Amino acid sequence: MVSHTTVERAQRLKQLHAQYKPLVLPTVWDVWSARTAVASGFPALTVGSHPLADSRGADDNEGQTFEEVLAAVKPIIAAVDVPVSVDLEAGYGQKPADLVAGLIEVGGVGLNIEDTVHSDGGRVRSTQEHASYVAGLRTAADDAGVPVWVNGRTDLFMHAQDASAVLDEAIERLRALEEAGADSLYPVGIQDDDDLLTAVIGAVTVPVNATAHPVRHDLERFRRLGVGRITYGPLMQFAMADAMKDMLKRWAP
């Protein structure tokens, strides 16, 4: 039976996306970082696959099994009283229904799903294949009675030598994900390109997610461009590592 708290948190995450433009979701990786972000005033969080893997001595790109990821995020979700979304990479080879069931079981109420299939040589799903997977996630969440927030990600820009050359293909893919039931869209790799961000945002009707560096990027710029959602990927963990190194330098032998 699905927890009433999980349903309420899922509903709250949806409300927050409508309330904040953009909604900033600090990307955390353990109980300490999650509690620290909540204490800083954030109403929702996301667990990133890269920082989670780094914190556990594993590799990103599905270097952990789905079961290992669930075991790692369960105490994070339990430690805070805000909605938590989880980066589930390309799905760890799971069927959409199993992916959603596992997420809900540990209290997660949102997910990222990308089109680079790490378990199959790093190939990129076709537009229709990725849209079908997202549609499966939407159906599974609806069947479970939990409005899981689905953040549909594409890596087309990131894989391209010239990001602008794949704009039309990326927009076609993002529109297909929106039609399949994605609540927001995540075109990775264009956070520093105003023109590409503007083109993508203008082509879809749901919030567009941008990756931000918590020190080097500017929230007002993203707001002005119309970005609807911001996450940090591994960049907050990288920034904290840089700060830690600076603090420790004068103590090093």
Q: Look up the pTM and report it.
A: 0.97
> Once rounded to an integer, what is the mean pLDDT over residues 184-191?
98
Instruction: Please report, as a single letter, which amino acid is at residue 31.
Output: V
Q: How far is CA 233 from CA 6, 73, 170, 230, 238, in A?
A: 24, 16, 20, 9, 10
Q: What angle do CA 107, 15, 29 make, to 5 degrees?
A: 40
* Mean pLDDT in residue range 71-87: 98
Q: What pLDDT, in 10s, does the model give residues 131-186? A: 999 999 999 999 999 999 999 999 999 999 999 999 999 999 999 999 999 999 99
pLDDT band at 119 (very low <50, low <70, confident <90, very high): confident
Judge whether residue 1 has pLDDT over 90: no
Asked if residues 231 and 25 have their Cβ atoms less than 8 Å apart, the reply is yes
